[in-house]
Amino acid sequence: MTCLRGVGVSPGRARGPVAVVAAELAEPASGPAPGDLVAEAGRIGPAAATVAARLSDRARSVSGDARSVLVTTAAMAEDPALVRAAERLVAEPGLPAPRAVWEAAGQFIAALRAAGGYLAERTRDVADVRDRIVAELLGVTPPGVPELTAPSVLVARDLAPADTAGLDPARVLAVVTEEGGPTSHTAILARARGIPAVVACAGVLGLDAPGLEVDGNAGTVEVSDGSVRAAGPRSRQQWDGVGKLADGHPIKLLANVGSAADARAAVAAGAEGIGLFRTEFCYLAATGEPTVADQRAAYAAVLAPFAGKPVVVRTLDAGSDKPMAFLPAADEPNPALGVRGLRVAFQRPDLIDRQLSAIAAAADTGAEVSVMAPMVATAAEARWFAERARTAGIARVGVMIEVPAAALAATEILAEVDFVSIGTNDLAQYVFAADRQLGAVAALNDPWQPALLRLVAMVAEAASKAGKPAGVCGEAAADPALAPVLAGLGLTSLSMNSVALPAVGTALAGVDLKACRDRATDAVAAADPEAAPRRR
């Protein structure tokens, strides 16, 4: 019997007939040139608005995680920067509107892919919006999840967030994708909706089989006869919006955001604050460094929905692998190990000082603002950043732990700052020398890897001894099965994509601190991810 292995990202077993998701649209033609360039450019805005309205209508018909994802995708469809870029390509060099949208979106996708990390993970979102607008302009049906007439196993190269958000657990028995990883939208939303899922399953689209059996725990996909066996329903209590264990032990549940739309979705999902505000989004479309006033306005739009609540703002995570138009790109043989994150600030202290001033000014929104730096490797770097942030008027200062050296030096770093936040996504890829965007090594980026959890435990212990908070802001926090383990290791907060909040909150509310510590002990001692508590 044929058996393929991927990365299990949402637990459960299910079996059923295969339903294949159509591939992306073919590239639209570059010609002939439109006869009336003004009229042709004028088609783009209404098409984008129609797509956004359609997604907004879908958002109103659902709730919770699905609504927040659809609202965010609708906002992306109407992004004025995308529409203007496409209109310019109609005017010069005279492209048809569908091709102009395709190429304009391609520019955004290239910038996000070059940025790496979280931003690179958003390329699928932009491609989905691109295909929907292009399909509207061409008058064809956009690719996506087919109409399911019977319960099926959904197979795709990857799934767009808007498609994943609309999945009906009564019809979708399981999801298998050839691409994606543990931190993808597919993983997060499948977990939130209780659908077994396996990602990074190479070769699944090449199988000629009537059905598949999917094990979201073990990450295996086997050929079956097409008969149906649904995953058992998950009994899930309603989360009350307060992050705590069954015995009342507090675990603050926060959201990762990059825009005002993300912040509004986080509020709707019940986030107790923002654990990671990625300021890169405020720079992506900038051809020059935004002024302090412009930065302050952009940050304030994100902070305002969280007046009276904690917000952790991460300073610009840029560098040679995350190019910004106003930062000359260095020629480096290995950009991932080059001048990026806080290392850029060492070369351009004026840049970080202006950003810190803007962040301090945005605190007048009423949010309880803290700031933290990315890519910190030593205590000396943490001290340098903390001094500049406090000089700018920001009282609470922390750093990211995403470099193995920082985890090993956590005690010394915590002597310089008020808190630390573990970026498990980057920490995993540096620990295992495995690109988090590469499906072929996705298994190494599994947050259940014992080596990764041992580093997390080391940081949590150092923070406990220092009497300072330590949280996780990588997508490891979005796994409801892993959240109790992280709590048991001693983390005080978990920050995640907002769609994961209800499921994680419910999972934590169902266990006490002793049970969490027992699970943490087992997970750290496991020989490999397959032996971890979630796999048993």
| Whole-number Å distance between alpha carbons of 121 and 219 | 21
What average pLDDT does range 240-246 have in this prediction? 93
Contact 427, 455 (CB under 8 A): yes
Give the model's pLDDT for residue 312.
98
434 lies in the same domain as 293: yes
- The CATH number linked to 107 is 1.10.274.10
Phi, psi of 230 (to 5 degrees): -80, 155
Query: Does residue 124 share a domain with residue 150?
Result: no
Which positions are catalytic? 185, 473
Are 12 and 216 a contacting pair, CB within 8 Å? yes
> Do residues 73 and 156 both lie within one domain?
no
In a domain, 427, yes or no: yes
Residue 115: band (very low, low, confident or very high) from pLDDT cuts 50, 70, 90: low
Which residues are within 8 A (CB) of 182 and not within 5 positions of it... i.e. 6 or more apart?
7, 9, 199, 442, 445, 446, 447, 475, 476, 479
Report the range of poorest mean pLDDT among 116-125, 150-159, 319-328, 403-412.
Answer: 319-328
Residue 58 lies in a domain: yes
For 373, other C-beta atoms within 10 Å of its C-beta total 25
Q: Are residues 284 and 338 part of one domain?
A: yes
- Domain end point (choices 138, 173, 203): 138
Instruction: Choose the final residue of a domain: 138, 158, 180.
Output: 138
CB of 514 closer than 8 Å to CB of 249 = no
Q: Residue 292: exposed, middle, or buried by beta-carbon count in 10 A (0-12, 13-18, 19+)?
A: middle
CB 137 within 8 Å of CB 44? yes
Q: Are residues 62 and 191 in the same domain?
A: no
Q: Over 90: is that where the pLDDT of 398 sits?
A: yes
User: By percentage, how much of the chain surpasses pLDDT 70?
Assistant: 89
Instruction: Assess whether 125 and 192 both reside in one domain.
Output: no
209 band by pLDDT with thresholds 50, 70 and 90: confident
Dump pLDDT digits (tens) for 273-315: 999 998 887 776 566 788 999 999 999 999 999 999 999 999 9
Q: What distance in Å separates the CA atoms of residue 215 and residue 492, rounded to the nearest whole number?
A: 32
Of 79-83, 306-310, 513-517, 522-526, the poorest mean pLDDT is in 79-83
Structure tokens at 130: 């691109």
Q: Is the pLDDT of residue 438 over 90?
A: no
> What percent of the chain clears pLDDT 90, i.e. is strictly above it?
52
Does 232 reside within a domain? no
User: Which token pair is 360?
Assistant: 């301090």
Asked if the structure places residue 491 within a domain, the reply is: yes
Residue 67 belongs to a domain: yes
| CATH code (residue 11) | 3.50.30.10
Which whole number is the average pLDDT over 196-214? 91
Count of structural domains, the chain:
3
What's the pLDDT at 321? Answer: 47
Are 120 and 258 found together in one domain? no
Mean per-residue pLDDT for 39-43? 94
Is 314 inside any structural domain?
yes
Whether the pLDDT of residue 535 is over 70: the answer is no
Domain range holding 516? Answer: 252-531
In a domain, 27, yes or no: no
- Tell me whether residue 111 is in a domain: yes
**pLDDT band per the 50, 70, 90 thresholds, residue 439:** low
Q: Domain containing 503 — which CATH number?
A: 3.20.20.60
Same domain, 296 and 437: yes
Write down the mean pLDDT value for the chain.
Answer: 87
Which pLDDT value is given to residue 320? 46
Based on the domain organization, do 124 and 162 belong to the same domain? no
Rounded Cα distance between 434 and 111, Å, is 21
Q: Compare 232 and 446 and report the one with higher pLDDT.
A: 446
Q: Report cis status (omega within 30 of 0) of the bond before 32.
A: yes
Q: Residue 322 above 80 pLDDT?
A: no
Q: How far apart are CA 66 and CA 189, in angstroms?
A: 8
Among 33-47, 67-81, 139-153, 379-393, whose mean pLDDT is lowest? 67-81
pLDDT at 236 over 60: no
435 shares its domain with 355: yes
What pLDDT, in 10s, does the model give residues 341-359? 888 888 889 999 999 999 9
Cis peptide before 480 (omega within 30 of 0): no
Query: What was the pLDDT predicted at 182?
Result: 76
206 and 260 part of one domain? no
Q: Backbone dihedral region of 366: left (phi > 0), alpha (psi from -120 to 50 degrees) or beta?
A: left
